[in-house]
Structure 1
């Protein structure tokens, strides 16, 4: 009876060892069969911006609030006339509500300064246009406004001209195709160098498109970029 139990236990243990060996061998074969390579393909384009947003901001200071508003309105009109003379249409030009600060109420500076120039105001005239070249041509002419007594806030970061590219959807199909093709070429080279053959696609993912300035001095030229990631099966 004891011998039978011992034999059964040995048989069970041997069966478990054999099963484990078969499972391990199956996993190794499975991994070999699933052998793959991950590659990335890049596509880039340089394109001109097709839209410009150009804010022209200026500041004024007055001791009388009514005179401050009148001054802001008068100088807004000068800027609008300047822009129309540069070829911009009325519908491309907008004027924001003025920002007014009461220095006395906020206790800025000395009492003498507060009484003399109690109010300060800022106004912004913005051009939103697809005439990118016209904006670039007009920007150096802003000195004309300074000669007319307008204190422009040209150094403020928020008042910088911005150039946009809005035609991404038209570029997407060709760029995705190019990125995928470049990824395949990289995979084919890897397969050749490793004495393998390239199989089907195991998995593919498309990265996000990015649009950036080409460099710091040419914001009107954009670099469009996308990276595709593709996994290919490999076979001996």
Structure 2
């Protein structure tokens, strides 16, 4: 027998032993539950569904600075037409644009050790424009093209675009049903190996609701009772439920 064939044969034996062991453990646990008077078993169910964002938001902030507050506001207002032209070129209409009021703050000089002093350096004026669209690709293109404004010297910054899903509650309810079905299948498999029967549901609870990037990785954005990724257009919804069934 060649080394490769020997290796494959050994791997097959190992897998067979592993599967047999898993079945034995499941059956043993189910039998233990029945023979020791335990009248129920608890299992977890998982359901996932791919999603595509149907709404996007992009916040742009224009700034201007000056030695006095009037100068800072004048600098801001002078540059505003260039940003508004950029927004119009990307086909955003007035109802799609949320414009904040002008704001300002004094900026103070720092000493050689980086500590803020009481000596005024300049005033910084700001105004934000939040763009909304159901065309998420337009939001993505606009975010990409902001770099052109920055290269041209316009003092504009932006937060990462947010890509949202509008029917999250419907998605959540459908996944709870699918996860419960998955839990039932797991319970039936558990009981089959233990020669017991699964009875009625005793209790059920839902874990966190996750909206993840399509690759399933967690971005640590805590929202909507779990994780809500807003950085990607393509997403993955995930729900885990815990169900306890009576044993017959």
Q: TM-score range by the shorter chain?
A: 0.7 to 0.9
**So what's the TM-score if we normalise by structure 1?**
0.72
Report the CA distance between 1:123 and its aligned residue: 2.3
Task: Measure the CA separation in 1 of the matches of 2:169 and 2:233.
Answer: 19
Partner of 1:6: none
Q: Secondary structure at the match of 1:108?
A: strand
Partner of 2:141: 137
Task: Measure the CA separation in 2 of the matches of 1:213 and 1:77.
Answer: 36
Deviations 1:184-231 (A, max 9, x none): 110001001112111111222233423233356962222212122211
Larger Rg, first or second structure (1 or 2) = 1
- Residue 227 in 1 paired to residue 235 in 2? no
**Which sections of structure 2, spanning at least 5 residues, go unmatched?**
1-33, 112-118, 220-228
188-197 vs 90-99, greater mean Cα deviation: 90-99
**Which sections of structure 1, spanning at least 5 residues, go unmatched?**
1-28
Pick closer, same or farther for the CA change 1:172–1:119 going to 2, 3 Å: closer
- Residue 123 in 1 paired to residue 123 in 2? no
Partner of 1:202: 202
Partner of 2:78: 74
Report the CA distance between 1:45 and its aligned residue: 1.2
Deviations 1:33-81 (A, max 9, x none): x511101111111211122121112332212432321221232332222
Task: Measure the CA separation in 1 of the matches of 2:172 and 2:123.
Answer: 51
Pick aligned residue for 1:146 from 147, 150, 175: 150
What does 1:23-38 align with in structure 2 at a 5 Å threshold? 32=37, 35-38=39-42
State whether residues 213 and 232 of structure 2, in contact with CA within 8 Å, keep that contact through their aligned partners in structure 1: yes
- Residue 181 in 1 paired to residue 194 in 2? no
* Greater strand share, structure number: 2
* Greater helix share, structure number: 1
Q: Secondary structure at the match of 2:62?
A: strand
Q: Secondary structure at the match of 2:109?
A: coil
Partner of 2:211: 211
State whether residues 213 and 222 of structure 1, in contact with CA within 8 Å, keep that contact through their aligned partners in structure 2: yes
Task: Measure the CA separation in 2 of the matches of 1:90 and 1:60.
Answer: 23
State whether residues 76 and 125 of structure 1, in contact with CA within 8 Å, keep that contact through their aligned partners in structure 2: no
Deviations 1:113-172 (A, max 9, x none): x78x62222222211222211011222211231244312335xxxx22212112113323
Alpha-carbon RMSD:
2.6
Q: Secondary structure at the match of 1:166?
A: coil
